[in-house]
């Protein structure tokens, strides 16, 4: 298995569960690749090339390699590019050689993860490039809008595209939003309660300029400026005056991100990076040896 580690992510378990799902482990008649077993001779060997039909930012190759090696530990794999590389359409990404049945069984799971993660990385890079038209220093953030079970991989992919991870989950920072404020009674009261609870990092969402000072006075460490237009964002940045980092969120797309970045905010967060990035068009063609 390749040396691929992410804190909190168990690659071996992920591969076992992914392949078990595809093979129907535990289901009546499941636990096998019926097509490969019936069509491909047991001794047959394949060689193949994984290639991109789109211009992409690559992500997920080490995971794909681990999937292939799980079913054929002796297969030969040569990565031709690295995660994070930006490559044109038609680029060969990986060469593979090994037992035909094993490689065919692993093919769809391996392709799915590279297509999905490369799609996220590619969209992320597009947002970074668009953001740079408005600011040379603003940082793109991802969000918790991830597919359950894939958060660590999806946030890995945004890093390959040039973003920075925001919260990994509910545990590493308080994020006070409108529903918390509704229960607490005010922005200031919600922040005060988090401070009194000993929370080390408090991010507070504000959607009006008059909420900024109460949030700061109560001890917020980071302000999320929600659904503000560029002019309002610029005024919010002026009011904050560098006391805490500022983050723009909401209404961000490839057409609006430059103007929002030009407002002077430190960060811009985009849920679409992981929520709805289109998969990259990546194929894998085998031929017998």
Listing DSSP states for 226-256 in one string gives: ET--HHHHHHHHHHHTTSS-EEEESS--TTT
Measured CA to CA, the distance from residue 180 to residue 184 in angstroms comes to: 6
| Residue 227 φ then ψ, to 5° | 55, 40
Torsion over CA of 10, 15, 18 and 22, rounded to 10 degrees? Answer: -170
Measured CA to CA, the distance from residue 241 to residue 253 in angstroms comes to: 26
Beta strand pairing status for 174-176 and 139-141? unpaired
Which pTM does this prediction carry? 0.96
What six digits make up the tokens of 288? 């017998």
Average pLDDT over residues 197-223: 97
**Three-state DSSP class for 9?**
strand
**Three-state DSSP class for 49?**
strand
Give the number of residues written for the chain.
Answer: 289
Question: pLDDT band for position 3 (50/70/90)?
Answer: confident
Average pLDDT over residues 240-253: 97
| Residue 49 φ then ψ, to 5° | -130, 130
What six digits make up the tokens of 236? 């919010």
What is residue 147's DSSP assignment? -
Residue 120 pLDDT exceeds 90: yes
Output the pLDDT for position 63: 98
Output the pLDDT for position 11: 96
Measured CA to CA, the distance from residue 268 to residue 261 in angstroms comes to: 7
By the 8 A CB rule, do 175 and 168 touch? no
Average pLDDT over residues 8-32: 96
Output the pLDDT for position 1: 57
E strand residue ranges, 144-277: 174-176, 202-206, 222-226, 246-249, 267-269
């Amino acid at each position: 298995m390749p040396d691929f580690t992410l804190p909190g992510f168990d690659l071996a378990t992920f591969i076992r569960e992914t392949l078990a799902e595809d093979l129907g482990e535990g289901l009546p008649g499941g636990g096998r690749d019926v097509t490969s077993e019936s069509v491909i001779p047991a001794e047959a060997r394949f060689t193949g090339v994984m290639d991109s039909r789109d211009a992409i930012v690559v992500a997920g190759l080490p995971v794909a390699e681990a999937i292939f090696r799980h079913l054929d530990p002796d297969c030969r794999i040569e990565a031709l590019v690295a995660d994070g590389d930006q490559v044109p359409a038609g680029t060969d990404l990986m060469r593979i050689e090994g037992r035909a049945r094993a490689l065919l069984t692993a093919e769809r799971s391996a392709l799915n993860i590279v297509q999905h993660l490369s799609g996220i990385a590619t969209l992320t890079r597009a947002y970074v490039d668009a953001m740079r038209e408005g600011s040379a220093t603003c940082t793109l953030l991802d969000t918790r809008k991830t597919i359950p079970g894939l958060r660590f991989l999806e946030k890995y992919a945004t890093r390959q595209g040039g973003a920075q991870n925001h919260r990994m989950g509910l545990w590493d920072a308080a994020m006070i939003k409108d529903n918390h404020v509704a229960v607490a009674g005010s922005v200031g009261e919600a922040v005060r309660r988090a401070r009194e609870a000993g929370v080390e990092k408090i991010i507070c969402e504000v959607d009006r300029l008059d909420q900024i000072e109460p949030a700061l006075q109560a001890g917020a460490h980071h302000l999320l400026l929600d659904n503000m237009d560029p002019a309002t964002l610029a005024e919010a940045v002026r009011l904050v005056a560098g006391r805490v980092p500022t983050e723009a969120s909401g209404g961000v797309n490839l057409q609006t991100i430059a103007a929002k970045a030009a407002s002077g905010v430190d960060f811009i967060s985009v849920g679409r990076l992981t929520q709805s990035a289109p998969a990259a068009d990546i194929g894998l063609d085998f031929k017998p040896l």
